[in-house]
Amino acid sequence: QSEQDSLGKAQAIYDAGNFPAALPYFIELQKNHPDEMYLKYATGVCGLYRSDMHEKSLEWLTLTYANNKKAKNIEYDLARAQHYNYEFDDALANLDLFLKRRDIQDVEKKEAALLKDFCNSGKSLTLKPTDAKITNLGSAVNTPYSENGPIITSDESTLMFTYNGPASTGGRRTDSGVADS
């Protein structure tokens, strides 16, 4: 498969909103074109959807912003990366810049306002740390994919969580509850 084909496939997957699936394509393309800012931007956005890529996403989006402050939604995407990396004040500053843009939609304004709330909550919560510890349970539970929303039964005998990976037997649902193919 040629690089042009890989870029086309990556872009199609990206445009469809399947950022985790587009990520490996963009990472591979970036290896051969390390100075291409669009690849850094797209890879950074895709990396926001993988918790193990949040640091690299921040690096790529920071480089993008330094080179092109007019990239679509760059302040918002950079703020998301900063939020994931506990850089709450920087995230809030970028969200303020994003909200000053004239070309953003109402839904984008709502998402930015919600992220501001998350950042403010994060600032507050990091000032009062708890004794809670997060422990990787190993390969019996944790995979390279997303396991989220853990729940333990009242007798503490069962752990349930959502899983988003190739072995999943479930599926996504639309807002109306219909299975999304």
| Residue 63 CB partners (closer than 8 Å, separation 6+) | 37, 40
Contact 161, 151 (CB under 8 A): yes
Structure confidence at residue 143 (pLDDT): 84
Helix (H, G, I), strand (E, B) or coil at 46: helix
Contact 8, 37 (CB under 8 A): no
Structure confidence at residue 71 (pLDDT): 87
Q: How far apart are CA 173 and CA 104, in angstroms?
A: 27
What are the φ and ψ backbone dihedral angles of 152, each rounded to 5 degrees?
Answer: -110, 135
* Tokens of residue 105, six digits: 């939609």
* Tokens of residue 100, six digits: 């000053």
Structure confidence at residue 94 (pLDDT): 97
Kindly tell me the sign of the dihedral angle through the C-alpha atoms of 14, 17, 22, 95: positive
Structure confidence at residue 6 (pLDDT): 86
The candidate with the shortest Cα–Cα distance to 46, out of 28, 66, 67, 69, is: 28
Tens place of pLDDT per residue across the chain (181 aa): 688 888 999 999 999 999 999 999 999 999 999 999 999 999 999 999 998 999 999 999 999 999 999 888 999 999 999 999 999 999 999 999 999 998 899 999 999 999 999 999 999 999 988 888 888 888 888 888 888 888 999 999 998 888 887 877 776 666 555 666 5
* Tokens of residue 71, six digits: 């990239």
Structure confidence at residue 178 (pLDDT): 63
Nearest 5°: the CA angle 47, 29, 111 is 30
Structure confidence at residue 66 (pLDDT): 95
Contact 72, 64 (CB under 8 A): no
Name the amino acid, one letter, at 81. Answer: A
